[in-house]
């Protein structure tokens, strides 16, 4: 059974509606502003505690911690992630072109700091393949591997110190950038890296990671390619040197892949049945280290191993601050990627578990994590896809799981680390490649993306191709610029359509898509679905000219005919008893009952501004221009559904000098009823709407 609605009310112009229902004057608003500022600047014990809980969230969630309910899940999840951090930390250190021990440091310090300052309950921070790859490219450019490196002297130690100095400098500058962005409340900037861009970028970066690890898996000692077309340079170099493949390292890689890939697939397929995933990475590392040590694979078959891993904590030291100007440009891209991925992951799991995160606080958390960690020889860190997924699957509840994760890494740093001396680097390369499974699987989203939005599909494709073909940094920049261009093009080419009224209702829809909606006689109702600004001003003017047939030639001919008619009227009746004849319309009724327009001709243009979210100076001038052109041909211009910002700009630009405030209505139906009543010469006191 259908319901009906009956409404009877007065016709409202914007002025009349504001008088009846508007807020009080500016004095009251400024008073409220002063009250808000005074409240924020007030210093009290409660305000200090609130600020402390807001900026150091552990003081907010830890007192509410449900020990009996959550501690077991956090413990198991934290220990599971900690075990995974050990091989991944060392493996991603190779991507960063630094020694594996620095990957363990980066798996420890950021985890502790994010636990204190982060707002994501299920976010696991540490080494991330994409950031490691981007950082490694910069490290290779500034500290390239020498052709002949004497490993028996201090030359190798100095070389490693230079490399980690550059990587730490990138982490330091990235952290400082995030803290500055937090101070300026620029957390919204991550939105410029849309979901298609992030997914395409990480998927394409996975190809770079895989190709870069081929030389380690094959036992080739090749310099790392950087710059544009680096993927193809690396692939060409590997193919060229295939005859030099170390068969022992190739065999180790094949065995590792045969073990890692199926077990990881089992972990994924049965993640709901397994209490914790099978720690295949750490088992592979332990087994490979034992085999390499037992059979002296490094000396017998010239297998490249990790080498000495010092036990204990690193001494705090400043990064290579003299390199900051050289790494600034690349650090901007690293910062945005790290923050965008971290916030995206935090939001996904916050929505899943029904809590909220604070993007600006996430800036502070990751900023502090990178800045402080850089003082302990760490490279850039962020939230990671694989470990965050495992943390959630293993039953983690809060950030406290990070404490157990860091305890596992701490034990390795203090006691177990030196035992990995004989770990083959080929094993770490295989761990790197197999950890990218989720990134490669993002190709499955493409059919749905094509079905939902072809423009987003093209953005995904352009970003992916740019990153793969050119380079990680340059490809990301191209993807962001292309995405913004698509947004600008969509606002430039927004739809301008004619509205018709559904019979016996106050509903107005496009007559192009609703054939049973009819235009109001003598009234052309136009709507524009987008902002009106300098970029689309000419397109909107062209569309309105086409819909109203107001070409310059027609305007001149109508104006010329009207002036000729007025001249004939003056010559025929020069005077009357009441004085000189007035050719202008003294009232709305006179305008609508004039004989020079038929019912089929347009007498009024009504612009529905409900979809116009903002107008700039150029857009306001377009309204004035349209108003004057309509007046020249004897057409009145009305507006409806203007939001406060649009109306303020139009009023400030001087539009009221060309039209009356009474011609701006609250709704389209108010304007249409008013026009119809003026046509029928209904007295002022009965201006009401029946629906």
Looking at residues 97-125, what average pLDDT do you find? 92
* Dist CA 248 CA 240 (whole Å): 19
Over 60: is that where the pLDDT of 26 sits? no
* Dist CA 480 CA 200 (whole Å): 11
- pLDDT tens figures, 165-177: 999 999 999 999 9
Could you tell me where the DSSP H helices lie in 377-453? 385-393, 401-411, 425-434, 437-440, 446-452
- pLDDT tens figures, 457-497: 999 999 999 999 988 888 888 998 999 999 888 887 777 88
Pairing of β 508-510 and β 523-528: unpaired
572 band by pLDDT with thresholds 50, 70 and 90:
low
22 band by pLDDT with thresholds 50, 70 and 90:
confident
Q: Three-state DSSP class for 354?
A: coil
Sign of CA dihedral 201, 206, 207, 208: positive
Q: Are 304 and 407 in contact (CB under 8 A)?
A: no
583 band by pLDDT with thresholds 50, 70 and 90:
very low
Q: Three-state DSSP class for 430?
A: helix
* Dist CA 531 CA 525 (whole Å): 18
Place of tokens 């007046």: 631
Pairing of β 496-501 and β 382-383: unpaired
- pLDDT tens figures, 204-231: 988 888 898 898 899 888 887 777 888 8
685 band by pLDDT with thresholds 50, 70 and 90:
very low
In sequence order, the β-bridge partners of residue 688 are 10
If one compares 541 and 689, the residue with the highest pLDDT of the two is: 541
- pLDDT tens figures, 452-464: 999 999 999 999 9
Over 70: is that where the pLDDT of 40 sits? no
Over 90: is that where the pLDDT of 591 sits? no
Pick the closest to residue 225 from 434, 430, 470 (CA basis): 470
Over 50: is that where the pLDDT of 439 sits? yes
In sequence order, the β-bridge partners of residue 524 are 605
In sequence order, the β-bridge partners of residue 277 are none
- pLDDT tens figures, 660-672: 888 899 999 999 9
Name the CA dihedral angle for 97, 99, 100, 101, rounded to a multiple of 10 degrees.
-140
Q: How far is CA 371 from the centre of its chain?
A: 24
User: What pTM was estimated for this model as a whole?
Assistant: 0.79
- pLDDT tens figures, 344-389: 888 888 888 888 888 899 999 999 999 999 999 999 999 988 888 8
pLDDT at residue 585, as a whole number? 44
* Dist CA 243 CA 220 (whole Å): 10
Q: Three-state DSSP class for 624?
A: helix
- pLDDT tens figures, 257-278: 999 999 988 888 887 787 778 8
Q: Three-state DSSP class for 688?
A: strand
* Dist CA 322 CA 367 (whole Å): 20
- pLDDT tens figures, 300-311: 888 888 888 888
153 band by pLDDT with thresholds 50, 70 and 90:
low
């Amino acid at each position: 059974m259908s319901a009906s609605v009956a409404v009877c009310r007065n016709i409202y112009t914007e002025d009349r509606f504001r008088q009846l229902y508007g807020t009080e004057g500016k004095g009251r608003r400024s008073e409220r502003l002063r009250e808000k500022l005074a409240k924020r600047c007030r210093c009290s014990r409660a305000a200090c505690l609130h600020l402390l809980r807001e900026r150091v969230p552990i003081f907010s969630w830890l007192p509410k911690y449900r020990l009996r309910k959550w501690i077991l899940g956090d413990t198991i999840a934290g220990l599971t992630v900690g075990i995974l951090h050990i091989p991944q930390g060392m493996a991603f250190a190779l991507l960063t072109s630094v020694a594996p021990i620095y990957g363990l440091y980066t798996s420890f310090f950021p985890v502790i700091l994010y636990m204190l300052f982060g707002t994501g309950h299920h976010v696991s921070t540490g080494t991330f393949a994409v950031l490691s790859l981007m950082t490694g490219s910069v490290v290779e450019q500034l500290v390239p591997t020498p052709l002949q490196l004497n490993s028996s002297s201090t030359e190798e130690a100095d070389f490693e110190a230079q490399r980690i100095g550059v990587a730490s400098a990138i982490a330091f500058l990235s952290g400082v950038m995030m803290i500055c962005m937090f101070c300026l409340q620029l957390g919204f900037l991550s939105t410029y890296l849309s979901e298609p861009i992030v997914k395409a970028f990480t998927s394409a970066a996975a190809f770079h990671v895989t190709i870069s690890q081929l030389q380690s898996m094959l036992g080739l000692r090749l310099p790392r390619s950087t710059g544009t077309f680096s993927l193809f340079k690396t692939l060409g170099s590997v193919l060229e040197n295939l005859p030099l493949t170390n068969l022992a390292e190739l065999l180790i890689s094949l065995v590792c892949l045969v073990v890692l890939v199926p077990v990881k697939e089992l972990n994924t397929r049965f993640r709901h049945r397994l209490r914790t995933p099978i720690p295949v990475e750490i088992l592979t590392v332990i087994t490979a280290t034992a085999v390499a040590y037992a059979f002296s694979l490094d000396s017998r078959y010239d297998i490249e191993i990790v080498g000495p891993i010092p036990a204990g904590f690193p001494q705090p030291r400043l990064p290579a601050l003299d390199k900051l100007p050289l790494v600034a440009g690349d650090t901007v891209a690293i910062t945005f990627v790290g923050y965008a991925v971290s916030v995206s992951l935090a939001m996904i799991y916050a929505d899943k578990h029904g809590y909220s995160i604070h993007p600006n606080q996430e800036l502070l958390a990751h900023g502090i994590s990178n800045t402080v960690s850089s003082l302990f020889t760490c490279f850039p860190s962020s939230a990671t896809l694989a470990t965050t997924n495992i943390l959630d699957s293993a039953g983690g509840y809060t950030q406290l799981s990070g404490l157990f994760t860091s305890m596992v890494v701490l034990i390795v740093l203090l006691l177990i680390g030196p035992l990995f001396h004989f770990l083959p680097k080929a094993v770490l390369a295989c761990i790197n490649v197999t950890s990218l499974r989720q990134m490669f699987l993002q190709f499955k989203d493409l059919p749905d993306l094509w079905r939902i939005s072809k423009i987003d599909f093209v953005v995904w494709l352009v970003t992916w191709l740019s990153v793969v073909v050119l380079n990680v940094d340059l490809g990301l920049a191209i993807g962001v610029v292309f995405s913004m261009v698509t947004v600008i093009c969509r606002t430039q080419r927004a739809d301008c359509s004619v509205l018709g009224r559904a019979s016996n209702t106050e509903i107005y829809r496009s007559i192009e898509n609703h054939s049973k909606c009819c235009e109001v006689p003598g009234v052309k109702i136009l709507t524009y679905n987008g902002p009106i600004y300098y970029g689309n001003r000419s397109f909107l003017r062209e569309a309105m000219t086409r819909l109203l047939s107001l070409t310059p030639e027609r305007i001149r001919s109508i104006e010329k005919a009207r002036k000729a008619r007025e001249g004939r009227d003056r010559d025929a009746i020069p005077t009357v008893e009441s004085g000189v004849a007035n050719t202008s319309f003294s009232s709305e009724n006179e305008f609508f009952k004039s004989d020079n327009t038929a019912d089929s001709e347009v007498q009024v243009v009504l612009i529905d501004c409900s979809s116009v979210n903002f107008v700039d100076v150029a857009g306001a001038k377009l309204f004035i221009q349209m108003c004057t052109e309509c007046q020249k041909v004897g057409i009145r211009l009305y507006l409806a559904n203007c939001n406060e910002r649009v109306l303020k700009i139009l009023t400030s630009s001087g539009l009221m000098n060309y039209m009356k405030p009474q011609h701006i209505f609250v709704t389209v139906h108010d304007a249409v009823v008013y026009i119809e009543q003026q046509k029928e010469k209904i007295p002022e006191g009965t201006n009401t709407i029946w629906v």
